[in-house]
Structure formats: structure tokens, C-alpha cells
Structure 1
């Protein structure tokens, strides 16, 4: 299904790579008139080549000053948001609660919850009546696994934040939903020791290593691409999702079953 965003203004965080970049491209290709793109990676953000007007904001989503700047830019032009995809987040380093440092806990929570709060607050302030917002959660917020405490807890929090924001936005017909991907083929795996070891066992074949990992983890036997998740995000941001609000779309190949 093709979703039409002609003339729409949308915000995407974590926009310089992975799912965020795929969503930004998909929105532009679907006719979005103006994209507000936020990412910590200034160089990759500036290198994005999209067929629409863009406003770039490089910085940490957990920095309140960044969101003051985003809101100031929007208010100067008298513009509002028709859609927002709040996707920025980090996985953190694997460790059990007993062996985890408080600094590592705070690092993940700061981006995944504090940063999401700030981006959601600005999005709700800038949203036009009838706007749609999607938050990136994770299947880790639905299914418990050892060693990912701050990530899993933060993503469970994202799911509940979507529900609360949906109730708060309903009087203005602002819809807020979450998407909870499972394994996705993005650069998030690169540099993770167990995945690097798996690639080495496959003689450097990254695609083969990813396929082997997916076969062992999901009933469907494969991970999704960033572009597939972006398509699902556009569905949730579009009128095709109708009255869906406060829901979480779990897209994990059956991992959580």
C-alpha cells in the first residue's frame, strides 16, 4: 500500500542511519514537503540527500536545549507537525543487573526514556490536530531476556508512554502508537562481540551470519530490513491506520511467541 504524505511536515529522530534513515527516505518518497531530522551524528545527518525540504538538528535527544531549538525553529515559521517518528535510542552493553554499573544504566535510560520524553513533549506541542506520532519500542520491552536490563526496561516504558500520550492526545485527534521490532538488519549488530564472532565463523559473510542468527531466534527464520519497518511506521503515521492509537505493533518474526 502506498501512503500519501503530500504537503506534510514530519519529524524523525535517529534519522541518520538504520530505521530512522529508512523512514526519512520513505516519507520523502511519499511526498512529505518538509522533514525535521534529528540525530547525534552531524556528518551523516548532513550527508542525507532527500527530495524535499529538510531542517537538520544535530545533538543528543536527551539535551533539553536541542528541543528548545527545534521548537523555536518551528514557531518562527508558524508551522506544525503532521507526523513524528521518535526513533532515537541505544542498546547499551550486555550485563546482568548484579554486574551492571549505575553509569551504564543511566546512559541507556537517559537516551531511551529521558530523550524520548523530551522529543515526545516537543512533538505533542508542535502537533497539528489529527497528527500521528510513532515511538520506537522493541520486542525487548515485551519479552524478558537476561543481560539487557536498562534496554528492556526503557522499551517497556516507551510502550506505556505511547498509551498515556494517546489518551492525552485524543481530544485533538492526535494518535500515538509504538512499534516493537525484533531483529532488524542494521548496523546495530556490528561491533557486538558475539555477532562479530559469528561473522568470523562464516568467513566474513555478514549476511550469512545474520541469516543463521535469525534462523535460531525467530519462528519465521529471518530478520526484517530497515525498509520493511519503515513501511510499517508509515502505515501507523498515515490515515490507513484509522483510529489505531495507544497500540504497539510487534514486528518480530514470531520471536515473542
Structure 2
């Protein structure tokens, strides 16, 4: 374990009525204790999970458009609005890692193409070829399999975005292999009920205006998916009846 605690420095905030402090879960944030190698952030869109994950990336000096400490490029609207207002407590402090931002991964792949020109071993850490020359899902797995290793913290924003269900299971195996030695930490914002099933992970919900730990079976991701699979016809009948 590396990152132990996340604190909002409330004394620095001049107004809790402006973004991002107007987001209920951020507004109520004091501190979060992390005590597991894998922590999931969950919640509806707009509840602040990606905002906090991006702020952690900013404090780690990772590129908030996606990448590590040495990936320097710009993407519009990728600056962290929260980064300067949080404090991270480490034991020990690590500088290795990566921030995956699914929505700007295309720009990261383009950035790699630009810096790999003329390299002796182009794309060695990304499967041996341009990420643009792989399918979206293949490029994500190439990143996980080749770029990720021990002694690091990884911040992933919706890694399931490019992964089929079977590829999500592959990712779970990668997650297991990387964390079993005890020298990797993952914080993952996700909507995937498959990823959330990872054993012995902490799940933090940003719903209901606060950040609180929940069990897997208590998440809407589990309950809604389970109900849909067990009662698909009834579910769809009720869904479409609402439109009439």
C-alpha cells in the first residue's frame, strides 16, 4: 500500500457553492482512508468520482489528460479543478504510475506516436506497435500488460470503456497478478458490475451526496444488472411502458 489517505483542505476553499465544491459528495468530503490494494469509485455521472480521481492524478504529477509523469501534452478541459485543494498521505511515497483517462486515450496514443518517432525500440512498453494500429480494446490491454508493473500506483477512469465482458475478465486477472505481490495500488472509477466483483476490494459510492463504503451486493450496478438478467422481458416491458 502506498496512498493511505486523501484529505480535502477545506480551509483553502473560498466558496462551497462553486464547482467542484458544489458537487454534493465533494462538498461533504473530509477525508478518505485507503487500506486495500484496489479501491473502486462508483456513482452516477456527475457525482464527483472522476473529479476526485483526476485531482489525485494531479497531485501525483501525472498528466491529467492521461499518462505518467513524463508524458507532456495538452488536451482541452483536462486540467484538474480540485488538485490544489487536496492533500495525499503516503507510506511510502511513490512516483511511478499512470493515469488512464478513457475519454482522452486517443490523444495519449497520438502523443506516443509523436515521441516514439526515431526510437530504437518503438512502443516497447505498449505491445510493440502504435496504439492507433490496435483495436480500442487491444490498445487498453497492451497498456495494462506492458506498461503496468510493480512499485506503482495506477489511477483508472472507466477502463471498461473499451473492453468486452471477456476482456474485462482478462483485466481482472491482470489486476490480480499485479497486486498479489503487494507492490501495486489501483484506484478505479467504474460503472462495470464485472470489475466491481474483484474480491476484497473497497467500493466507495459517491451517490446520496456523500462518499461512503458499500458492499458489492448493495451497489446499483449489481442489483440492476441482476434484476435485468433474471427478468429481462418484464424489465423491458416496464421500461418501454413508461414512454407511452
TM-score class, shorter: 0.3 to 0.5
Q: TM-score, normalised by structure 1?
A: 0.33
Q: TM-score, normalised by structure 2?
A: 0.34
Q: Which has the higher helix share?
A: 1
Larger radius of gyration: 2
Greater RCO (Cα-Cα under 8 Å, separation 6 or more): 2
